Amino acid sequence: MGGRQRPTIKTVAARAGVGRTTVSRVINGSELVSEKARAAVLAAIAELNYVPNSVARGLVTSRTNSVALVIPESESRLGSEPYFSAVIRGVSTALAETRTQLQLVLVRDQAERDQLTESVAERRVDGVLLVSVHEHDPLPGLLEDMGLPTVLAGRRSPDESLSYVHSDNTGGAATAVSHLLTRGRRAVATISGPLDMDVARSRLQGWRETLEKAGHEATDRLVASGDFTVEGGEAAMRSLLEQVPELDAVFVASDVMAAGALAELRRQGSRVPDDVAVVGFDDSIIARHSNPPLTTVRQPVEEIGSMIAHILLEEIDNPEEPRRQVTLPTELVVRESS
């Protein structure tokens, strides 16, 4: 017969009658646990003779020389969205200067979130880089509760408590809309990203404030929500053309969605930019190879990746350092679509 299997966080959680997150918090000394739950977890740890991997290695603070880049999205989104590959390049370049290894982790469901929680609780990584942040995603708060250095590409809201790096999304959108107005466009619609993301809300805010300041309509009938996919851009553009037949310009919150918008405009016989001018956001490879080439707002995505990696390494070395929140400038790149 084989030897007894080593207990895991899952085993401890089942014995204590609590969730894995509660076990992780107890192990890491978090105060966000009731005394009853803490006692149950400690009793289960003692009964099972559970030893976290980090303790087995020696000290809880021992280094793994490894960080996780966590992307809570599907493989299809990861492969189709140039933003993610640019962030990964930036992170990899920054870490290449060090002995730190990079683990790429996709978190698509609760089971994968639990696996990440267990990995963090047992200190298999020294820190986490988190990309594609949604407002109500529990993962950033969970990582913060567990005391693991965590840096975000983007933020949950303007009140973000963790370190983050992002682009000037509001200002970039304002520049795009101002450009369309200077070209004589009167009915400027927008395709936003998912509004549970600060990046989408900020770009929508820049669109709205700029139109209102110029005395132009900025009502909800001029807004269609997308999901940062080509298909989402197509559907949103179709909706706008039905709602606002007089529209002569659209600011799209990503180049990927703008590619979908261009395709839908072609299908409906609208000429770009003669009938409808289009401006995207990102300045990805999609913008340079669309038909016509896309006017867009350039954001320094690789620099975002590089900076979040450097900030994370600093937080790992100096946990008491104040958290950093960095906004990088954007730039309008004018091409033939406007």
Phi (first) and psi of residue 131, to 5 degrees: -115, 150
Are 293 and 337 contacting, i.e. CB atoms less than 8 angstroms apart?
yes
Category of 283 on φ-ψ map: left (φ > 0), alpha (ψ -120 to 50) or beta:
left
**Rounded Cα distance, 329 and 333, in Å:** 13
- Are the C-beta atoms of 255 and 283 separated by less than 8 Å? yes
Do 66-166+302-327 and 169-298 show the same overall fold? yes
Of the CA atoms within 13 Å of residue 33, those in its CB half-sphere come to 25
Question: What pLDDT, on a 0 to 100 scale, did the predictor assign at position 3?
Answer: 45
Structure tokens at 112: 């994968």
CATH class of 66-166+302-327: alpha beta
CATH code linked to domain 9-51: 1.10.260.40
Domain definitions of the chain by residue range: 9-51, 66-166+302-327, 169-298
Predicted confidence at residue 31, as pLDDT, reads: 67
pLDDT tens digits in sequence order for the chain, 338 residues long: 344 566 777 888 889 999 877 887 777 666 677 888 888 888 888 788 776 654 444 334 467 889 999 988 777 777 778 899 999 999 999 998 888 999 988 887 777 777 777 777 777 889 999 998 888 888 888 888 878 899 999 999 999 999 999 999 999 999 999 999 999 999 999 999 999 999 999 999 999 999 999 999 999 999 999 999 999 999 999 999 999 999 999 999 999 999 999 999 999 999 999 999 999 999 999 999 999 999 999 999 999 999 999 999 999 988 888 899 999 999 999 999 99
pLDDT at position 99, please? 85
Where helices occur in the chain by DSSP H, the ranges are 9-16, 20-27, 35-48, 53-57, 75-80, 82-96, 110-121, 138-145, 169-182, 198-213, 230-243, 255-267, 285-289, 301-317
- Domain 169-298 in CATH: superfamily? Response regulator (3.40.50.2300)
Contacts 24+ apart (CB under 8 A), 72-77: 72/106, 72/107, 72/108, 72/130, 72/132, 72/134, 72/137, 72/139, 73/106, 73/108, 73/132, 74/106, 74/108, 75/106, 77/228, 77/229
Instruction: Give me the pLDDT at residue 59, please.
Output: 38
Residues in the chain: 338
Q: Please tell me the predicted confidence (pLDDT) of residue 199.
A: 97
DSSP states of 45-107: HHHHT---HHHHHS-TT---SEEEEEE-S-HHHHHH-HHHHHHHHHHHHHHHTSS-EEEEEE-
Check: pTM over 0.85? Answer yes or no: no
